[in-house]
Structure 1
Amino acid sequence: MFRRLREANPNPTTELTYTSPFELLVSVVLSAQATDVGVNKATAKLYPVANTPETIYALGEDGLIPYINTIGLYRSKAKHVIGLCKMLIELHTSTVPNDRASLEALPGVGRKTANVVLNTIFKQPTMAVDTHIFRLANRTGLATSKTVLDVEKKLLKNIPAEFMLDAHHWLILHGRYVCQARKPKCGECIIVDLCDYKAKTV
């Protein structure tokens, strides 16, 4: 399965637009229950104006909201981002920490967000399970469970080590564009013969 995904896309990466670890962290926080496209549109206006913990913190919640108010839950996200900036400045010399405990202690950063940052920025073999990966893992039989954490643990156990670093991006892109929720594009799927999904559309 992963050999085919690698052949089709040798260098997968996030679709969020960023130029620094801090920008990626903020973008991932903003992307909760929102699309990467929507987040990129907002940050394309925000980051040229403020893209460090100090400059975003200086905006305050009221100054940040006009940049992100096209994103769902923008008020709570503004609060999280400002709080996150404050903690980075005070506790981490304005740098993004490279360990899970420190990341998850930041406002708005849960296990999934921490995993994205650890994997994408710090090249750690983590698995950030979002709705796409949860669906894909259960459908294919790659990792079946009713809980996100259990799927994450099973994926980490089942995916061969040589593919682990890029596995998160291969799975999320496949779930986003091929193994879609309402009508999976099984006719276009390069791993269809390896998949356990009984309701295939072919």
Structure 2
Amino acid sequence: MNNQKRRQILERLRAENPNPTTELNYSSPFELLIAVLLSAQATDVGVNKATAKLYPVANTPQAMLDLGVEGVKEYIKTIGLFNSKAENVIKTCRILVEQYGGEVPESREALESLPGVGRKTANVVLNTAFGWPTIAVDTHIFRVSNRTKLAAGKNVNEVEQKLLKVVPKEFKVDVHHWLILHGRYTCVARKPRCGSCVIEDLCEFKDKTE
């Protein structure tokens, strides 16, 4: 795919959704961090249901620590892998309190050192909470990037590096959200909704659907 076509795709996605953001509900970098940590192998809808009850009780690292592992489990038991996630939430909160004064650090290295936080989670927090031009590649973004040929790659790291290279600076902060929403609602896994896609004529996917 050439750069002119890439720009047209991004311009159309921007026109359709000028101010995209995550579908996870949060009101602080800490709430976002915990929500993203909980969202692995879970839906945003499921996470939002759990945090709607959890955050009014505990929305700071210290308050979460005061709940303890068993207390956190009670609020997140509807989410997949809740046992290990509760452990990671408490370990993460302890580090935030002891090493960062209860604040979420605006540093990739510091974020990736937190239990249960990998590169993808760090990218989401840096992008969404702090406005960094990072691109967290999940299954939706991986699929859309490869299908459209916007940024083809064999694995998530390859796709991330390709996107960082080919996406113009003006689109970098928002492209993560555009692609994830496009993959979630239009370019879906089994049968993409090509007929209602705003970039259908620019997309290089061979097996387009009606």
Q: TM-score scaled by structure 1?
A: 0.99
Runs of 4+ in 1 over 3 A off after TM superposition: none
Return the letter of the residue paired with 1:32: A
Return the letter of the residue paired with 1:127: I
Pair 1:157 & 2:165 matched: yes
Return the letter of the residue paired with 1:138: N
Pair 1:136 & 2:138 matched: no
Question: Mapping of 1:69-148 within 5 angstroms?
Answer: 69-148=77-156
C-alpha distance in structure 2 between counterparts of 1:60 and 1:199, whole Å: 50
C-alpha distance in structure 2 between counterparts of 1:29 and 1:105, whole Å: 13
Given the alignment, which residue of 40, 47, 67 partners 1:59? 67
C-alpha distance in structure 2 between counterparts of 1:177 and 1:106, whole Å: 31
C-alpha distance in structure 1 between counterparts of 2:25 and 2:153, whole Å: 32
Aligned residue number for residue 200 of structure 1: 208
C-alpha distance in structure 2 between counterparts of 1:66 and 1:196, whole Å: 46
C-alpha distance in structure 1 between counterparts of 2:21 and 2:102, whole Å: 25
Given the alignment, which residue of 31, 47, 54 partners 1:39? 47
Given the alignment, which residue of 11, 23, 32 partners 2:19? 11
Aligned residue number for residue 177 of structure 2: 169
Aligned residue number for residue 6 of structure 2: none
Return the letter of the residue paired with 1:185: R
Question: Mapping of 1:182-201 within 5 angstroms?
Answer: 182-201=190-209
The alpha-carbon deviation at position 143 of structure 1 amounts to 1.0
The alpha-carbon deviation at position 35 of structure 1 amounts to 0.3
How many residues in Structure 1 have an aligned counterpart in Structure 2? 202
C-alpha distance in structure 2 between counterparts of 1:50 and 1:165, whole Å: 29
Q: 1:162 aligns to what SS in structure 2?
A: helix
Return the letter of the residue paired with 2:52: A
Q: TM-score scaled by structure 2?
A: 0.95
Q: 1:192 aligns to what SS in structure 2?
A: coil
Q: 2:152 aligns to what SS in structure 1?
A: coil
The alpha-carbon deviation at position 51 of structure 1 amounts to 0.6
User: Over aligned residues, Cα RMSD in angstroms?
Assistant: 0.5
User: 1:85-127 CA distances to partner (integer Å, 9 max, x unpaired)?
Assistant: 0000011000000110000000010000000000011111000
User: 1:137-190 CA distances to partner (integer Å, 9 max, x unpaired)?
Assistant: 000001111111010000011111111110000010000000000111000100
C-alpha distance in structure 1 between counterparts of 2:122 and 2:110, whole Å: 9
